[in-house]
Amino acid sequence: MPPAPTPIQLVETAGAEAALAALPAAQAAWAKLQDFSGRLGQVLQLPAADGGLDRVLFGWGDAAARRRGRFHLGRAPAALPAGRYALETPLPPSEALTEALGWELARYRFDLYKPAPVPGAMLDTPEGVDPARLAALVEGAALARDLVNTPAEEMGPAQIEAAIRALAGRHGAKVSSIVGDALLEQDLNLIHAVGRAAGPGREPRLVDLRWGDPAAPKITLVGKGVAFDTGGLGIKPSGSMALMKKDMGGAANAIGLAAMIMALELPVRLRLLVPAVENSISGPSFRPGDVFRSRAGLTVEVNHTDAEGRLVLADALAVGQEEAPKLMACLATLTGAARVALGPDLPPVFTDDDGLAGALAEGAAALADPLWRMPFWDPYEEMIEPAIADLDNAPGGGMAGAITAALFLRRFAGDAESFVHVDIYGWTPSAKPGRPKGGEMQAARALLHAIETRFL
């Protein structure tokens, strides 16, 4: 028989004195010597009489402290020796799921270029948590992180397509793509314009994955797949360009969400649309002042070549809405304005569907996937309407940039029954419990919850 897992006891600050008093005298003395107080995140290993590990006390702070963060058990794997552990203190199922998820996400390592040892501390699935669901959430997040973390040299438009095809192969999905000048034949002029300056082998494309019963509710995910963004002729300063390998973070998160949906075998007709491009600089670069006709028939004047994400998304959204899905969800690392407003950890979400907004808020709270609703503010529509075309891709003035970008995208959502756009950052700037520095999954778990509770 395998050895029993080492129990982990959660100890709140208010109950620390009583918890220590209940320990054997030697362990209580050791805990006091280590100044264990139940402070959130404290990890104390209590020795057994034979010198082994008897149990672990984990500081659980108080409710106010826990509200200031998430994935608190994500502190544990790196602090404990290799082995099996089990949560002894019962938690509500939703909280148990997010804490187990935090533990597993803390074990993530990106090791494509050098060894990155994974902590060997393994947590048994807590009571009330579905192991298959936990595994799907972990695998989806790891996939999204891997895609974002991989440099653009090895994650260009063709490699994004290859990742989607590999995922499709694991789940029996079908994939097609429209590449290079073939985009023009399908009126995907905006995707072509943004990506046409990239070199050979990095041609722009629209990748289209389909999975599930065609008669099931149609759920369409659209992810911004800008493999690298120089800013085009409106070139970014070097400091702003340093993290642009993550500009395909919307696609990475949409791919990760698609992976979770298929792993959980949700009864939906899933469609994943990823416009994959590189916004490069060369002779064929699109220019400020150029006007292009979109797939939807609307003309778009280019005010700034560094507002390219909404251009490629516009054509992809126009394709997606043609099937009138019940839900069309757009994920994109779209605007710096969103980061100025809400910072890197709190993506703004835009939808006119109040019921969907409520379901997203529930999912955000239940699955440690924070979002904040912002408005499609109709009075700002005139800001995206230039003199010589239907739409302007980057209104001047610098005001309400996240909202005007969302309004631009909404123009292409058309016949979708419900439309939601999330302006994610897709990156953790500094390591936090369960969130190593680097590429991050945002909004996907909240969207998964909304799909399950509102559209099935």
Q: Among this protein's residues, is 310 annotated catalytic? A: yes
Whole-number Å distance between alpha carbons of 381 and 400: 11
Q: Which residue out of 310, 326, 410, 445 is catalytically annotated?
A: 310
| Cβ–Cβ under 8 Å, residues 320 and 220 | yes
First to last CA, the chain: 42
Q: Among this protein's residues, is 236 annotated catalytic? A: yes
Longest Cα–Cα distance in the chain = 82
| Cβ–Cβ under 8 Å, residues 316 and 413 | no
* Residue type at position 412: F
Phi, psi of 169 (to 5 degrees): -65, -30
Which residues are CB-neighbours of 335 under 8 A, at least 6 positions away? 401, 402, 405, 423
Could you tell me the sign of the dihedral formed by the alpha carbons of 6, 26, 74, 261, in that order?
positive
Tokens of 407: 């309004």
> 174 in helix, strand or coil?
strand
Tokens of 178: 């429209």
Phi, psi of 334 (to 5 degrees): -100, -50
Number of DSSP helices (H) and strands (E) in the chain, helices first:
15, 19
> 347 in helix, strand or coil?
coil
Whole-number Å distance between alpha carbons of 61 and 73: 12
Whole-number Å distance between alpha carbons of 365 and 108: 23
Q: Which residue out of 39, 66, 133, 236 is catalytically annotated?
A: 236
| Cβ–Cβ under 8 Å, residues 147 and 248 | yes
Tokens of 284: 């064929």
The catalytic residues are 236, 310
